[in-house]
Amino acid sequence: MKRIGVTGHRGIPPEAYAHIRAGMHAVLRGHDGSMEALSSLAAGADQLFADIALACGAELTVVIPSGDYEDGFTAPGELARYQRLRSRATREVQLAFPYSTDEAYYAAGAYIADNCDRLLAVWDGRPARGYGGTADIVSYARDLGKPVTVIWRDGLERHWI
């Protein structure tokens, strides 16, 4: 089974969605046989990836960083989408952090990088705003020698959430 993980920004400019969606489809459709998609289902890149992976027939593994993770979904529809995707997961990994901290987010990203064959990163190439951000997980995966596919539209500024 091919295992593809995701890391990415929560704030994706609307004008980037078509490009990012096409890039994800290209990566996920490019594999023959069974596939496992690993995601924390954060708003933005993680949820988009999970939607596309499920549509491509992948089994979804959800990595939940902390016991209070659902409390972080505050924008309209985010929590409902998270819960819908979570209910479709084949497997769930609950990390032992009681609270959503930078360390919990880093640990979830590291878990995904450790357990995938390829990491897909929706990343603008800029440094992380805090410990455990997309840049940190890309660096961690590359240090492991994992192939990383970066999807971003050149010249586009992301929204900071």
pLDDT number for residue 43: 93
Q: Whole-model pTM?
A: 0.93
Question: 15: closest CA among 150, 121, 144, 154?
Answer: 154
Whether the Cβ atoms of residue 28 and residue 133 lie closer than 8 Å to each other: no
pLDDT number for residue 158: 66
pLDDT number for residue 1: 73
Q: What is the mean pLDDT of each run of 10 residues along the chain (161 residues)?
A: 92 89 90 88 96 95 97 91 97 97 97 98 88 93 97 76 49
| Length in residues, the chain | 161
* Cα→Cα distances 1→114, 115, 158, Å: 15, 12, 33
Collapse the DSSP code of 119 into the 3-class scheme (helix H, G, I; strand E, B; otherwise coil) and give the result: strand
Residue 47, both tokens: 């949820």
User: Residues 13-35, buried b or exposed e (16+ Cβ, 10 A)?
Assistant: eeebeebbbebbeebbeeeeeeb
